[in-house]
Amino acid sequence: MKIFSQEMINRYTYLMKIIMKPHYLLIAFLVGFISLVYEIYSLKIIFFYFTESTHAISITLAAFLGGLAFSSLLFSHVAQKKSTKQKKNLLISLQIFSAIYALLILRNNTIIPYLLDIGKELFIGSPILFLIFKFTLIFIYLFIPAFLLGGAFPILNGLYQKTFENRYVDTGKVYFWDTIGAISGSLAAGFVIIPFFGLQNSLIVPMLLSIVVTIMLLTKRSLKTIISVALVLTLVIVFFQKNKSHNTIDTYNTQLPQTELIPYDSRFGDIVFQENSNYGVVTVGDRGGNNRVLHINYRDMCHTNYHKTESELARIALDNTLGNNLTTMNIGLGCGFTAEALAASDRVESVSIIEINKQVIEANLEFFGSYNNNIIINPKVDVFHENGTEVIRSNYSKKYDTIVIDIEEPSVIQSSPIYTVEYTQHVKRQLEEDGVYALWAIRGGNGNERYNQILYNTLKEVFDYVYIKYGKSVQLYAANRPLDIESDHQQWEDPSDEVNTLDNRVLEKSYNIYQVFDLPESYNDKFITD
């Protein structure tokens, strides 16, 4: 005896389809949201290897759109003859695999520079083949997550369509909510998720949303509970175990093993501190004669017995800054002498130090405090473990009277954007109208004149008044009003109008890192731009 008639069953099935339709639109929204969070994250990662050029944007968009296209084509055919349950299971599988890929591969992007090193060795003497290898590697890295997410649209479209007659309207609705999700994900990633969670930790948001989508598609309540609890606990444990030593803003984590320090470690003197960091090995060495030196890999950053130019940079900038109760920012802690000169002024109310390298902060606190009047614990000073390029690009809410930048050389991946026209414009936006910008740059080796001119021209592209002083280092001062500084630019014998931009990094080409740091041509540093 049948309890339910076929008519009742048909009505129930029809009713469930009506109820589930908004459910699928919400899933479409979430999938679009997840996709663009991964897209923005990936774009920022690629900027570390292409220094935010058109190459980075082009390859990211090509890989992402290619993944979506091929995935849509494949899964539209695969899902065509599947039952509703099979389509749901297929969609669940895509969500789970995309979350696993994000956790194991996207987040662990440290493998990229190592693979690039292998490529360099394989294609020695053939820069074109190495460039192809580099583009292919990045393309695959970005293509896979897009492929795993792109198949969701045709599957959801098939699940959502109720009748053949309404297929055009239904497809438009699915596409609309998927696109709205993508727009929301793009905005949320750039303005909320990455600034709040930090670059690598931001991936926890789309991964948790993939879990939410999975739970929404599951039918058995007990199974939903088990999977949701297990996946959330796994994500939390893995993430926070990996982030015990990370600040909220990270870049890729390439670490050099201690054994790689052997060839040139005699330059350190007596080593008092040495730790791997996200940006190379940080070493503090005593060379005798009260000279303590901070190194990143084998590049000496600052010395305790010679820091005249760093201190002078801050003092000259302050001498030309108007008013009292000044708010200042110093990007690049180093040995702390630039920040010390800022804080020493009675006219300065606050100093915000931005330092990307956590180990540099630790080394400064323990081994340079006696040389810089314990600048880190000075009551005027706030130290932020953040990426300086991120700060000047994204933080417009606070204005500064004086901005002083004293960072690594322009050939270093994480520093090179600072020396471009685009980032100089970001600096200008964070200055008060009468504010002063001061930039310290290491000397460029042979061909200093071209190097100096490019630095000068780059700032002059943005500011009305630019002054340059150079000797063993280069000091630049810029403002929108005249300053009381004698400039050396009139001494150039061969004037040039070259400027340094993200897409045309001519400054690096005029800079000889081997000569500046007395390094052999065989020296290889993962953090130096090609």
User: Which residue from 295, 313, 239, 364 is spatially nearest to 476, judged by alpha carbons?
Assistant: 313
Spatial distance between the Cα atoms of 106 and 102, rounded to a whole number of angstroms:
5
Number of residues in the chain: 530
Say what the pLDDT of residue 235 is.
58
Q: What percent of the chain stands above pLDDT 70?
A: 79
Angle at 122 between CA 120 and CA 127, to 5 degrees: 50
User: For the chain, how many structural domains are there in total?
Assistant: 2
Is 125 a residue whose pLDDT tops 80?
Answer: no
Residues 31 and 146 in one domain: yes
Residue 255 pLDDT grade (very low, low, confident, very high; cuts 50, 70, 90): very low
Give a yes or no: residue 263 inside a domain: no
| Average pLDDT value for residue range 434-446 | 84
Spatial distance between the Cα atoms of 499 and 469, rounded to a whole number of angstroms:
18
Name the residue with higher pLDDT: 278 or 274. Answer: 274
Name the residue with higher pLDDT: 20 or 141. Answer: 141
Q: Picking from 184-198, 249-263, 486-500, which range would have the lowest pLDDT averaged per residue?
A: 249-263
Residues 102 and 206 in one domain: yes
Strand 348-355 and strand 381-385: the pairing is parallel
Label each residue of 114-175 as H, E or C.
HHHHHHHHHCCCCHHHHHHHHHHHHHHHHHHHHHHHHCHHHHHHHHHCCCCCCHHHHHHHHH
Name the residue with higher pLDDT: 215 or 242. Answer: 215
Element (H, E) at 44: helix 6-50
**Domain range for residue 385?**
307-516
Listed in order, strand segments (DSSP E) in 226-333 are 270-277, 280-286, 292-296, 299-303, 326-331
Say what the pLDDT of residue 132 is.
86
Is 157 a residue whose pLDDT tops 90?
Answer: no
Residues 229 and 317 in one domain: no
Strand 431-442 and strand 400-406: the pairing is parallel
pLDDT in tens, 368-400: 999 999 999 999 999 998 888 878 876 667 899
Q: Picking from 3-12, 174-183, 457-466, 514-523, which range would have the lowest pLDDT averaged per residue?
A: 3-12
Residues 233 and 322 in one domain: no
Q: What percent of the chain stands above pLDDT 90?
A: 31
CATH, residue 47: 1.20.1250
Spatial distance between the Cα atoms of 289 and 303, rounded to a whole number of angstroms:
11
Residue 361 pLDDT grade (very low, low, confident, very high; cuts 50, 70, 90): very high
Packing angle between helix 6-50 and helix 204-217, nearest 10 degrees? Answer: 170
**Rounded (10°) CA dihedral 178, 179, 185, 191:** -160
Angle at 286 between CA 448 and CA 308, to 5 degrees: 40
| Average pLDDT value for residue range 343-366 | 95
Give a yes or no: residue 165 inside a domain: yes
Q: Picking from 47-56, 205-214, 351-360, which range would have the lowest pLDDT averaged per residue?
A: 47-56
Give a yes or no: residue 302 inside a domain: no
Residue 511 pLDDT grade (very low, low, confident, very high; cuts 50, 70, 90): confident
Residue 290 pLDDT grade (very low, low, confident, very high; cuts 50, 70, 90): confident
Residues 398 and 500 in one domain: yes
Spatial distance between the Cα atoms of 50 and 58, rounded to a whole number of angstroms:
11
pTM higher than 0.75: no
CA 260 to chain centre: 26
Angle at 182 between CA 176 and CA 185, to 5 degrees: 140
Last residue of a domain, one of 214, 240, 266: 240
Q: Picking from 31-40, 172-181, 520-529, which range would have the lowest pLDDT averaged per residue?
A: 520-529
Residues 63 and 195 in one domain: yes
Please state the φ and ψ torsions of residue 487, each to the nearest 5 degrees: -90, 150
Residue 421 pLDDT grade (very low, low, confident, very high; cuts 50, 70, 90): very high
Residue 260 pLDDT grade (very low, low, confident, very high; cuts 50, 70, 90): very low
Residues 235 and 311 in one domain: no
| Average pLDDT value for residue range 207-217 | 85
Name beta bridge partners: 275.
282
Mean pLDDT, all residues of the chain: 81
What is the identity of the amino acid at 349?
A: E
Say what the pLDDT of residue 46 is.
74
Give a yes or no: residue 477 inside a domain: yes
| Average pLDDT value for residue range 182-202 | 83
Strand 473-479 and strand 465-470: the pairing is antiparallel
Spatial distance between the Cα atoms of 404 and 373, rounded to a whole number of angstroms:
19
Is 286 a residue whose pLDDT tops 60?
Answer: yes
Name beta bridge partners: 294.
284, 302
Name the residue with higher pLDDT: 258 or 434. Answer: 434
Last residue of a domain, one of 225, 240, 255: 240
CA 461 to chain centre: 25
Say what the pLDDT of residue 312 is.
94
CATH, residue 317: 3.40.50.150
Q: Picking from 181-185, 507-511, 518-522, which range would have the lowest pLDDT averaged per residue?
A: 518-522
b/e per residue 124-160 (b: at least 16 CB within 10 A)? eeeeeebeebbbebbbebbbbbbbbbbbbbbbbbbbb
Name the residue with higher pLDDT: 528 or 283. Answer: 283
Residues 155 and 69 in one domain: yes
CB of 416 within 8 A of CB of 51? yes
Give a yes or no: residue 98 inside a domain: yes
Say what the pLDDT of residue 455 is.
93
| Average pLDDT value for residue range 116-129 | 78
Tokens for 277, please give them.
């960091």
Give a yes or no: residue 292 inside a domain: no
Last residue of a domain, one of 191, 207, 240: 240
Spatial distance between the Cα atoms of 75 and 95, rounded to a whole number of angstroms:
14
Give a yes or no: residue 288 inside a domain: no
| Average pLDDT value for residue range 465-482 | 91
Q: What is the DSSP letter of 321?
A: S
Residues 382 and 234 in one domain: no
CB of 97 within 8 A of CB of 148? yes
CB of 462 within 8 A of CB of 499? no
Give a yes or no: residue 381 inside a domain: yes
Place of tokens 């920012």: 329
Tokens for 44, please give them.
């920022």
